Amino acid sequence: MPRVDRSCLDQIIVVDGGSTDGSIEWAKENGYQVYVQQKRGFRHAYTEVWPLVEGDVVVTFSPDGNSVPELIPDLIAKMREGYDMVVASRYLGDAKSDDDDVITAFGNWLFTRTVNLLYGGRYTDVMVIFRAYRKGLAHQLGLDREDAYALPETMFGTKISWEPLLSVRAAKAKLKIAEIPGDEPARIGGERKLQILRWGAAYYFQFIREIWFWRPAK
């Protein structure tokens, strides 16, 4: 967080999932706005904090070392060219992920190829958290609707985030999307809490169901 250039941002909100390691205290001591989510899972963190977001463009960013903070100005600059969303891709150009293993690398490749094939996308990375997009896309694309997640979460006994669905519906709605290369360094602390099989199954179910489940507004 100390590497984030506050001058290029109007607001920073640290969303905490109930940590007990001093993260909340550190963030408050260093002048960050903190929100502690009430329901577990990434998407609940988003839906709960979204009303507190004051700007019209949001950068979602993981502060565990996986996201490179020096790329935030590049994301913002690209958004100013008129894009609806800009993704910091771990697989574009010379970018690489140091947090991938064989299974997650294959999964990201498969998911990205599937979305591009089914929905005419040109992504190299449909899964990554690190991206900038218009705040209004959450409502425009129905990312804030429970029916987008209830069935796959119930079927596979998990909680999922909205980035993959955002990638699908942005492509389906023919929005203006760009990518910039962005390395994913190894995390600097904590443990990776991936539920690889359950998350993968839930996301892939979403990808297939979206063929008929959702239509962009005309």
Per-residue confidence band for 71, with pLDDT thresholds at 50, 70 and 90:
very high
**Contact, 180 vs 74, CB < 8 A?**
yes
Statement: residue 97 has pLDDT above 70: yes
- pLDDT, position 193: 61
Average pLDDT of the residues in 116-128: 97
- pLDDT, position 190: 62
Average pLDDT of the residues in 153-175: 96
* Residue 133 forms part of a structural domain: yes
Residue 173 domain boundaries:
43-213
* Residue 218 forms part of a structural domain: no
- pLDDT, position 100: 87
Q: What is the per-residue burial (b if ≥16 Cβ within 10 Å, else e) of 107-132?
A: bbeebbebbbeebebebbbbbbebbb
Per-residue confidence band for 16, with pLDDT thresholds at 50, 70 and 90:
very high
* Residue 47 forms part of a structural domain: yes
Statement: residue 191 has pLDDT above 70: no
Per-residue confidence band for 109, with pLDDT thresholds at 50, 70 and 90:
very high
* Residue 183 forms part of a structural domain: yes
Average pLDDT of the residues in 178-185: 96
- pLDDT, position 188: 84
Give 193 or 55, the one with higher predicted confidence. 55
* Residue 55 forms part of a structural domain: yes
Q: Which helix (H) or strand (E) holds 102?
A: helix 102-119
Indicate the SS3 state at residue 59: strand
- pLDDT, position 101: 86
Distance from C-alpha of 167 to C-alpha of 189, rounded to nearest angstrom = 28
* Residue 205 forms part of a structural domain: yes
* Residue 29 forms part of a structural domain: no
Task: Provide the percentage of residues in the chain whose pLDDT is more than 90.
Answer: 83
Total count of domains within the chain: 1
Average pLDDT of the residues in 66-77: 96
Per-residue confidence band for 63, with pLDDT thresholds at 50, 70 and 90:
confident
* Residue 10 forms part of a structural domain: no
Statement: residue 192 has pLDDT above 80: no
Statement: residue 175 has pLDDT above 90: yes
